Amino acid sequence: MKSQYPPAGTLPRRAAAAGAALLLVGSTTAAPAAADDDGGTDTLTVAMAQQVDSFNPFTAQLAVTTNILRHVYDSLVTVDPETNEPAPSLAEDWQASDDGLTWTFNLREDAYFNDGEQLTADDVAWTLTTIMENEDAAIASGNYVAGFEEVTAEDDRTVVIDLEEPQATMTALNVPIVPQHVWEPIMEEEGEAFSDYANEDFPTVGSGPFMLTEHERGQQIRLEANPDHWRGSPGFDELVFRYYTEKDAAVEALRSGEVSFVYELTDAQATSLEGVEDVAVNISDGKRFQAFTINPGAETQDGEEFGDGHPALSDRTLRQAIVKAIDNDEIVEQGANGQAVAAGGYIPPRYEDFHWEPEGEEAVLGFDPDSANEMLDDAGYERGEDGVRTSPDGDRLELRMHVHSDRPDNVQAGQVMEERLADIGIEIDNRTVDPGILSDALYDAEYDLIFTGWTVNPDPDYVLSIHTCDGLPTEPGTMQGDAYFCNEEYDELYEAQLAEHEDKDQRAEYIHRMQQILYEEAVVNVLTYPNIMEAYRTDQIGDIQFEPAEGGNIWGQDGYWAWWSAEPADVRAGAGGGLSTGVLIGAGAVLLLLVAGGAYALIRRRATAEDRE
């Protein structure tokens, strides 16, 4: 065991863990309302495909782990599922000074860790300060505290954060707050090895609505409800995440009721599940955008050129012609079989305020291959005998296109684009590759067209920041952004929106104009906003909170609304029967093996017997 606290046994681990949890919980308040209608536990099972890296909230990187940890550790602020606005969580309310450099968060009084200790301002200050000061602890959330100068606990309930410069994410601080009394000893003990510390001493001590109680690597992760959570006890007693490497296997498991929820469905799967009894398919507006960027000629911040992007792509006319040759509606139809929304601006329509769509005269880059051809003819891009154009400088327009091989929608969109760009005399060398190879090409600027995509948070600051001139690399290979884009007007607007933390409409206005610049420069070209497709069993989950409440999604919420709110369905058909059938069939399997083995032995025996004749 890596630390003596919290207590965890090795042998009958789960039993010990559960017992310990009960003891700890019991010591704080009245015994949990363990009155289940039928004495059993209500378990919600989620099929998942990604592996977890670590449950250490300071170092966990992967989306699936951060998602799970969100249920274990509360953060200061969450997102309101109705309005998409920042909503109170650990912090009941907060104020910013006029210059936006000092933020005061007032904590709620009824937040307890599941070991009975109260969560205080010291825990918050310690967590944030640790991330600021300890490199090993900054892996997961370092970006949130990059602009912090100091975090102080004024008293038990008040945290003050001083900033070096204004920061838009102050009301979206998605940093898990950990108990100082548990983690300080761990940090001391682990020292250098802290980043390898996996936080697998179960049950974990946190303040969230669930606690981690079990992890069988590659098989499942188990969370138990924290019945004393200040927001109220979750509807299910247990949350189990089970691994399915094959998405198809996961869908079949949903069909047969082995799991309650499956996410990241393909369009074919979603369609096929729609008619199935007791299964509800939920399709919601995506948070992601799918885009491709064009290498405009990579430069460092000092103006040093590097990489080997096609020289003609620094011409905006060519870039715009490329965009005009591509029909986003067709990408939706062919690339996503209709399960996406054709893109306009950079930020998905799910975020109404910030979303921007080119309308009327602004829509200069709508699908129009004839006009694209005309533009290129006028600009001196002559067609060669094979139909491929040559730039005025004499370079043949043969462009590499790097596509994510692990994203089917990208692969399909890439195939459509390849054929459409041939229509305007551009030959595409389609390179569908692993993400690692793709990012090598990106950071070394050895690409022409390259696919990208981001999940946009309710506060879009990050995805906007990566296209400022500060996002350019200081030296080749160190880029912060993903497009070698740099535009002075864009930068000015970025600063303006960052400083504008009071007037939301004004900030949205700035952000709209930024998107218009991105659109017209045709370096970052958004194709679609893929829909989120997921399905759950209505005979297992009775009620569940979407985020946003109308037309929202279940998996990948910014808060823990879905699993906290989920209520078991009334009908619990076949809960016992299923198991006994399972046992029966298992017994049958064993029997079969025995019979096979016995038959073999018998044959051998008979052989000897016949010999004796």
Partner 1 sequence: MTGLDPRPAPRAPAPVPSPRVLARRRRRRALGRFARSYAHNRAGMAGLVSLLLIATAALTAPLFIDQAHLTVTGAPGQAYEPPSPEYPLGTDNFGRSVLDLIIWGARVSLAVGLLATVVSVSLGTLIGVTAGHFGSSGGTGGRITSTVLMRITDWFLVLPTLVLAVALAAVLPGGTGTIIAAIGLTVWPPTARLVRAQTLAVEARPYVERARALGGGHTHVMLWHVLPNVMPVVLAQTTLLVATSIIAESTLAFLGMGDPTTISWGGILEAARTAGAVSAGIWWYMVPPGLAIAVVALSFTLCGRALESVINPRLRENS
Partner 2 sequence: MTSTSTATDGPAGAPTEDAPAGGGGRARRVALYVLGRLTTAVVSLGAVIVAGFFLFRILPGDPVRAMTEGREVSLEQEAELRRQFGLDQPLWSQFFDYAGGLLRLDLGVSFQYREPVTELILERLGPTLLLAGTGTIVAALLGLFLGARAGWRPGGRGDRVNTAVALFFWSVPTFWLGLLLIVLLASGRGFFPGLFPTSGMVAPDATGIEAVLSTARHMVLPVVTMVAVIYAQYLMIMRSSLIDEKGADYLTTARAKGLRDGLVRRRHAVPNALLPTVTLIFLNLGQVVSGVILVETVFSWPGLGHLFYSGLHVPDLGLVQGLFVLFAASVILMNLLADLVYPLLDPRVRP
Residue 266 as a binder of partner 2 (CB under 8 A): the answer is no
Position among 230, 306, 367, 462 found at the interface with partner 2 (CB under 8 A): 462
Residue 132 binding: pick among partner 1, partner 2, none (C-beta 5-8 Å cut-off by kind): none
- The H or E element containing residue 401 is strand 398-404
| Window 319-358: residues binding partner 2 (CB under 8 A) | none
Where do we find the tokens 């679609």?
Answer: 528
Position among 34, 268, 363, 437 found at the interface with partner 2 (CB under 8 A): 437
Name the residue nearer to partner 1 (CB basis): 420 or 537: 420
Position among 582, 595, 598, 602 found at the interface with partner 2 (CB under 8 A): 582
| Window 197-226: residues binding partner 2 (CB under 8 A) | 198, 216-220, 222
Residue 314 as a binder of partner 2 (CB under 8 A): the answer is no
Say whether 294 sits in a helix, a strand or coil: strand
Residue span binding partner 2 (CB under 8 A) among the ranges 177-185, 293-301, 495-503, 594-602: 594-602
Min. distance of Cβ 120 from partner 1 in angstroms?
Answer: 48
Position among 308, 440, 446, 520 found at the interface with partner 2 (CB under 8 A): 440
Say how far apart CA 564 and CA 71 lie, in whole Å.
Answer: 8
Name the residue nearer to partner 1 (CB basis): 93 or 434: 434
Residue span binding partner 2 (CB under 8 A) among the ranges 100-108, 256-264, 377-385, 523-531: 256-264
Per DSSP, 344 falls in state -
CB 544 within 8 A of CB 560: no
Per-residue mark of binding to partner 2, 271-310 (x: CB under 8 A): -----x----------------------------------
Name the residue nearer to partner 1 (CB basis): 215 or 431: 431
Min. distance of Cβ 217 from partner 2 in angstroms?
Answer: 6
Min. distance of Cβ 361 from partner 1 in angstroms?
Answer: 29
Min. distance of Cβ 420 from partner 1 in angstroms?
Answer: 7
Residue 291 binding: pick among partner 2, partner 1, none (C-beta 5-8 Å cut-off by kind): none
Per DSSP, 333 falls in state I
Per-residue mark of binding to partner 2, 23-52 (x: CB under 8 A): ----------------------------xx
Buried b (16+ CB within 10 A) or exposed e, 318-340: bbbbbbbbbbbebbbeebbeebb
Residue 245 binding: pick among partner 2, partner 1, none (C-beta 5-8 Å cut-off by kind): partner 2
- The H or E element containing residue 90 is none
Please report how many Cα atoms fall inside a 13 Å half-sphere around the Cα of residue 244, on the Cβ side: 22
Type of residue found at 563? W
Position among 16, 22, 62, 96 found at the interface with partner 2 (CB under 8 A): 62
Min. distance of Cβ 486 from partner 2 in angstroms?
Answer: 17
Position among 4, 29, 61, 83 found at the interface with partner 2 (CB under 8 A): 61
Residue 266 binding: pick among partner 2, partner 1, none (C-beta 5-8 Å cut-off by kind): partner 1
Burial degree of 15 (CB within 10 A; 0-12, 13-18, 19+) = exposed
Residue 480 binding: pick among partner 1, partner 2, none (C-beta 5-8 Å cut-off by kind): partner 2
Name the residue nearer to partner 2 (CB basis): 165 or 406: 406
CB contact set of 250 (below 8 Å; sequence gap of 6+): 47, 49, 244, 259, 262
Residue 256 backbone phi and psi in degrees, to 5: -90, 5
Say how far apart CA 522 and CA 302 lie, in whole Å.
Answer: 23
- The H or E element containing residue 242 is strand 238-243
Min. distance of Cβ 393 from partner 2 in angstroms?
Answer: 30
CB 66 within 8 A of CB 556: no
Min. distance of Cβ 450 from partner 1 in angstroms?
Answer: 15
Burial degree of 83 (CB within 10 A; 0-12, 13-18, 19+) = exposed
Per-residue mark of binding to partner 2, 398-427 (x: CB under 8 A): --------x---------------------
Name the residue nearer to partner 2 (CB basis): 135 or 305: 135
- Select from 89, 91, 87 the least CA-distant residue to 231: 89
CB contact set of 129 (below 8 Å; sequence gap of 6+): 151
Say whether 106 sits in a helix, a strand or coil: strand
Residue span binding partner 2 (CB under 8 A) among the ranges 69-77, 195-203, 353-361, 525-533: 195-203
Say how far apart CA 148 and CA 146 lie, in whole Å.
Answer: 6
Residue 595 as a binder of partner 2 (CB under 8 A): the answer is no
Residue 549 binding: pick among partner 1, partner 2, none (C-beta 5-8 Å cut-off by kind): none
Min. distance of Cβ 412 from partner 1 in angstroms?
Answer: 7
- Select from 62, 74, 72, 49 the least CA-distant residue to 220: 49
Q: What are the beta bridge partners of residue 383?
A: 389
Per-residue mark of binding to partner 2, 472-491 (x: CB under 8 A): ------x-x-----------
Residue 445 as a binder of partner 2 (CB under 8 A): the answer is no
The CA R_g of the chain, rounded to the nearest whole Å, is 28
Residue 439 binding: pick among partner 1, partner 2, none (C-beta 5-8 Å cut-off by kind): partner 2
Report in angstroms the alpha-carbon separations of 560 from 183, 276, 316, 490, 547: 23, 28, 44, 34, 10
Min. distance of Cβ 452 from partner 1 in angstroms?
Answer: 18
Given the rule CB under 8 A, which residues bind partner 1?
247-249, 251-252, 255, 265-269, 271-272, 330, 334, 337, 405-406, 408, 411-412, 414-416, 418-420, 430-434
Report in angstroms the alpha-carbon separations of 109 from 68, 156, 157, 187, 233: 25, 9, 7, 27, 17
- Select from 113, 128, 101 the least CA-distant residue to 74: 113
